[in-house]
Amino acid sequence: MDDVDHDLLAFMREAMGFTKAVKKGPRETGVLESARYIFDNSIDIALDRDSVVQAAESIYNAIQQKSYSTQTWSEHELHPKAKDEDTLNFIFTMDVLNFSFWSEESEDTRFSVVYNGKKYTGYWSLVALINRALDEGIPITCPFFVSDPDICPDSLLEHVFRSDSEEQIPLLQDRLTCLRESGMILCERYDGSFANCIREAGQSASELIMRVADNFPCFRDEFKFEGRNVNFYKRAQILIADIWACFNSTSYGSFYDISSVTMFADYRVPVILHSMGCLMYAPKMEGHIRARKPIPSGHPWELQLRGTTIWCVELIRREIEKNHPGSKINAILIDFYLYDTAKEMEERGEDMIPTHRTRSIWY
């Protein structure tokens, strides 16, 4: 009797539906698919195609003029300059805590950090306070330290997060919980170094995002929209993007599928896309946002805002790719540019719709 051809038998079983094909390689994040589903089923937000096309050309030209690239990230005075494992843990700590800085207070009274004689608010206040703690000899980026309440009590962490203005940092207790939990997981599973997590992902950005979302609950922003599970993984994605940018697409920042990362759905990018005419809001929703009324995390309005913003940036990216093949402008660079530009417009006092008021750890 002839030997059985097991490969052929397995192929025939799979073709006839008796077995499921097991996909090899890195996992997909599903963020873009979630965004498309949300956009397709949105009733409160729409996209203006002509404005998207115009925005794509405007953004492409601006990125070229400003020489926007991964090198831009390290140029900021507060971002770390070294390219080592300590920097990885700095970035990991930073993105564990990188959420919810919006304030109803004035610029004079809102949460701020004065570092090296300069006052910082928003995201930069977080980076400043991490640097301030390290300068004070408090190893806030060491997971073995922050996960041990005996050597790092809440009182010390409260000192680290102290404000140089009247308002205290939002969601302080949530930040302490995220910091301790993620530090403990990093110690238990990765020997206290995020570099080990990166090595396991095999230079795949999408696989690394999934490992971060799987292993660290505070990065796992998943919701249900119109009967379907959707995910954004905003801070997991920005963690990978920050590493990619910091290491200038080399060493720990070398990912062969970095284009799988979408933009990072938060507060500020929808504002500038709205001002550019790309996003259009239903009157009731727009009135709610303009009145600065809170929108709960997971509310259909909030999910539509986040999902449609991701899909809008993806359409902008595709338009740039179509008209300027080989430009290598991905969703990350578009996001960095839009975020910085929106911040500049805000500081100049330009007339824009307010950021939506959702207080959560997800962005």
Separation CA 174–CA 152 (nearest Å) = 16
What token pair was written down for 275? 């001002």
Marked catalytic residue, from 266, 335, 340, 351: 266
Which residues lie below 8 Å from residue 356, measured CB to CB, with a gap of 6+? 267, 270, 289, 295, 301, 302, 305
**Cα dist. 215→96, 168, 189, 232 in Å?**
13, 30, 9, 16
Helix (H), strand (E) at residue 37: helix 31-40
Separation CA 226–CA 156 (nearest Å) = 44
Helix (H), strand (E) at residue 86: helix 85-96
**Partners of 113 in beta bridges:** 120
Active site annotation includes 108: no
Cα–Cα nearest to 144, from 89, 88, 184 = 184
Separation CA 342–CA 344 (nearest Å) = 5
Q: Decide: 356 and 295 in contact? Cβ < 8 Å.
A: yes
Q: Decide: 283 and 324 in contact? Cβ < 8 Å.
A: no
Q: Phi/psi class of residue 100: alpha, beta or left (left: φ > 0; alpha: ψ in -120 to 50)? A: left
Separation CA 242–CA 150 (nearest Å) = 31
Separation CA 152–CA 145 (nearest Å) = 6
Q: Decide: 230 and 223 in contact? Cβ < 8 Å.
A: yes
Rg of the Cα trace of the chain? 22
Residues labelled as active-site residues: 266
